[in-house]
Amino acid sequence: MGHSKQIRILLLNEMEKLEKTLFRLEQGFELQFRLGPTLQGKAVTVYTNYPFPGEAFNREKFRSLEWENPTEREDDSDKYCKVNLQQAGSFQYYFLQGNEKSGGGYIVVDPILHVGADNHVLPLDCVTLQTFLAKCLGPFDEWESRLRVAKESGYNMIHFTPLQTLGLSRSCYSLANQLELNPDFSRPNKKYTWNDVGQLVEKLKKEWNILCITDVVYNHTELPNW
């Protein structure tokens, strides 16, 4: 017997701005927007940038949600519009009362992490992470031996500081080229590429049960053009 879908309800109230409130949801949930007491009987339209199934996410592209009234009651007590949450990420919603914006906020859909040869789920609350300063790892062909300490210590996620070409300051986040792999990782007779990094990441995921993440800070870009 299959599990029933979990439903979460977000109650909309007039002029309630919840941009600083975290609504954390899971993939597979159904999110229902329902009208609170201050919006009953009013013409309300809900918009979200959560994409249609199979559509790429575009933060600037919003769509309106259709209202459903399963009991066909004349009042708005059972009316709702919904989003089936299949894609992880941060998404925005807002609603209009007539033609005027009356409120809005954000939702965060947690990812489902898979790891290991059997592709088992790694719960977010079980993540144990170690950060490595990429610029200190040396040539790429030596990375595996240096990363092994994380595996032997029981970590299941590695965070790399940016792997791109660094600026003159050599700061871990000051990038001279945001698209190019740091040439310091290559040897005089061997140039490594993003494909090599991808193969290592895949090996760590399947053989070591370790996931890898990285991040960049865009306002730390080095001054020269690239």
* Model confidence pLDDT, tens digit, residues 201-223: 999 999 999 999 999 988 877 77
Q: What is the DSSP letter of 208?
A: S
* Cβ burial 44-78 (10 Å sphere, 16+ → b, else e): bbbbbbbbeeeeeeeeeeeeebebeeeeeeeebee
What are the pLDDT digits (tens) for 1-15?
A: 445 789 999 999 999
pLDDT band at 224 (very low <50, low <70, confident <90, very high): low
DSSP state of 222: -
Nearest to 119 by CA among 199, 198, 197, 205: 205
Name residues whose C-beta falls within 8 Å of residue 152's C-beta, 6 or more positions apart in sequence.
none
CA distance 153 to 139: 23
Cβ neighbours for 215, distance < 8 A, ≥ 6 positions apart: 159, 161, 162
First to last CA, the chain: 57
pLDDT per position as a tens digit, 111-164: 999 999 999 999 999 999 999 999 999 999 999 999 999 999 999 999 999 999
CA–CA distance, 90 with 69 (Å, rounded to integer)? 28
pLDDT digits (tens, 9 = 90+) for 24-66: 999 999 999 999 999 998 999 999 999 998 899 999 999 999 9
Residue with tokens 């200190």: 136
**What band does 226 get if pLDDT is binned at 50, 70 and 90?**
low
pLDDT for res 1:
43
Q: What is the pTM of this model?
A: 0.79
Among 66-75, 78-87, 189-198, name the one with the lowest average pLDDT.
66-75
Q: Which long-range contacts (CB under 8 A, 24 or more apart) does 87-92 make?
A: 87/27, 87/50, 87/51, 87/57, 88/27, 88/112, 89/57, 91/48, 91/49, 91/50, 91/57, 92/48, 92/49, 92/59, 92/62
pLDDT tens-digit profile of 161-198?
999 999 888 899 999 988 999 999 999 999 999 999 99
Domains annotated on the chain, with CATH: 7-110 (2.60.40.420), 113-220 (3.30.750.90)
